[in-house]
């Protein structure tokens, strides 16, 4: 991996990056367990994508830049300042869930104060929203950067191509991230596109295109930092593809054993970014086994507290069912 000092990172930065990756993982694992216990209807996770998500979002300025994430972006929204409690309130569809007060599906993150814009369930539509917002920011003379992300399967959607085209014409400050885990539910990459890199498409729209291994967290950060700096200088958008493993099924409603072999699923575990990043930090003398264990203990406690508090929080009131749905209130 790249030399972290040359990238302007400190040991504290690296530890915080690791902690956020682990927090995303432990929250995600908890959501799957709660689903299997029958306490939540649906979970869709980030497991395997955490290194890519933290590497990229570390290059953004929380509180200033805007993210239009997709459902796997738990790491990104934590980096932007969403708390574990907020994540779990949303997960249980509670009244105080910041994303929608219990109206949206889980993992459709939204938090206006923290610069997080909700996605529609229709994949890739957020890429056009990012372009529209970036165009407005450009007209206003702001130096905000807009992050938006999708999976490689969603790169087949027309919206994505329209978004790239518009961003190219107007040199918009957008980072288009494609988290390439090779699968769109059960459809493999080869059935989605005739080239093996989504980033190749950048050339057709006049954008910079890069593919980077999501296991190499610092390399991901380096490339993202360059993209963010380019965007802030007014030099346009980047299509940044990160290669990641999907360590779970597509969602809790999916059974990957129907389309993947046991060997294929086992092999993916070799590409778990958490183990790789922990090993790198140890090798660099940044962290010890004791510190890693302490971070894990603290993160597990944080997840326990968030889960307990969110479970006890009030559900939305039935009389609020039609709020924001009809202009004229409906009598129930």
Neighbours of 196 (CB within 10 A): 10
Query: Least separation, in Å, of the C-beta of 46 and ligand TPP?
Result: 9
Q: From start to end of the chain, where are the E strands? A: 66-68, 146-151, 174-180, 183-184, 187-188, 208-213, 238-243
Question: Looking at beta carbons only, is 151 or 214 nearer to ligand TPP?
Answer: 151
Question: Looking at beta carbons only, is 86 or 159 nearer to ligand TPP?
Answer: 159
Taking CB atoms, the residue at the shortest distance from ligand TPP is 151
Instruction: Give the footprint of ligand TPP on residues 38-77 (CB under 6 A).
Output: 72
Query: Least separation, in Å, of the C-beta of 239 and ligand TPP?
Result: 15
Please, what is the Cα angle at 126 between 201 and 329, to 5 degrees? 160
Question: Looking at beta carbons only, is 121 or 262 nearer to ligand TPP?
Answer: 121
Does the footprint of ligand TPP cover residue 273 (CB under 6 A)? no
Instruction: Give the footprint of ligand TPP on residues 72-131 (CB under 6 A).
Output: 72, 121-123
d(CA 117, CA 134): 13
Neighbours of 246 (CB within 10 A): 22
DSSP for 241-277, written as a single string: EEE----S-SSTT--GGGTS-HHHHHHHGGG-HHHHH
Query: Least separation, in Å, of the C-beta of 101 and ligand TPP?
Result: 22
Query: Residue 240 contacts by C-beta under 8 Å, 6 or more apart in sequence?
Result: 56, 175, 176, 177, 178, 199, 210, 212, 223, 224, 227
Neighbours of 116 (CB within 10 A): 24
Does the footprint of ligand TPP cover residue 209 (CB under 6 A)? no
Query: Least separation, in Å, of the C-beta of 192 and ligand TPP?
Result: 7
The 129-168 contact track toward ligand TPP, x by CB under 6 A, reads ---------------------xxxxx--x-----------
Query: Least separation, in Å, of the C-beta of 157 and ligand TPP?
Result: 6
Length of the chain: 332
Site for ligand TPP (CB under 6 A): which residue of 136, 185, 267, 293?
Answer: 185
Binding-site size, ligand TPP (CB under 6 A): 17
d(CA 241, CA 239): 6
Which residues in this chain contact ligand TPP in the complex, by CB under 6 A?
72, 121-123, 150-154, 157, 179, 181, 183-185, 246, 250
């Amino acid at each position: 991996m790249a030399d972290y000092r040359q990238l302007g990172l400190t040991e504290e930065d690296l530890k915080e990056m690791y902690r956020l990756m682990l927090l995303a993982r432990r929250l995600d694992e908890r959501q799957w367990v709660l689903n299997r216990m029958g306490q939540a209807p649906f979970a869709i996770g980030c497991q395997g994508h955490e290194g890519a998500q933290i590497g990229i979002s570390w290059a953004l300025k929380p509180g200033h830049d805007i993210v239009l994430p997709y459902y796997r972006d738990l790491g990104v929204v934590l980096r932007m300042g969403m708390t574990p409690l907020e994540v779990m309130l949303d997960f249980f569809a509670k009244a105080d869930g910041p994303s929608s007060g219990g109206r949206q599906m889980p993992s459709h993150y939204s938090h206006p104060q923290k610069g997080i814009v909700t996605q529609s369930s229709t994949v890739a539509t957020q890429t056009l929203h990012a372009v529209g917002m970036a165009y407005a920011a450009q007209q206003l003379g702001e130096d905000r950067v807009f992050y938006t992300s999708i999976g490689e399967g969603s790169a087949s959607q027309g919206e994505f191509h329209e978004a790239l085209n518009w961003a190219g014409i107007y040199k918009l400050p957008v980072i288009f991230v494609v988290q390439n885990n090779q699968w769109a539910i059960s459809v493999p990459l080869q059935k989605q596109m005739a080239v093996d890199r989504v980033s190749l498409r950048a050339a057709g729209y006049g954008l910079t295109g890069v593919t980077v291994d999501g296991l190499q967290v610092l390399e991901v950060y380096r490339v993202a930092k360059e993209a963010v700096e380019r965007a802030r200088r007014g030099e346009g958008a980047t299509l940044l593809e990160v290669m990641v493993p999907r360590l779970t099924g597509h969602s809790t409603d999916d059974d990957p054993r129907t389309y993947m072999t046991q060997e294929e699923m086992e092999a993916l575990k070799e590409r778990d970014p958490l183990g790789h990043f922990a090993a790198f930090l140890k090798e660099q003398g940044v962290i010890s086994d004791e510190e890693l264990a302490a971070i894990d203990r603290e993160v597990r406690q944080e997840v326990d507290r968030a889960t307990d508090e969110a479970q006890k929080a009030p559900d939305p009131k039935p009389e609020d069912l039609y709020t924001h749905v009809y202009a004229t209130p409906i009598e129930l």
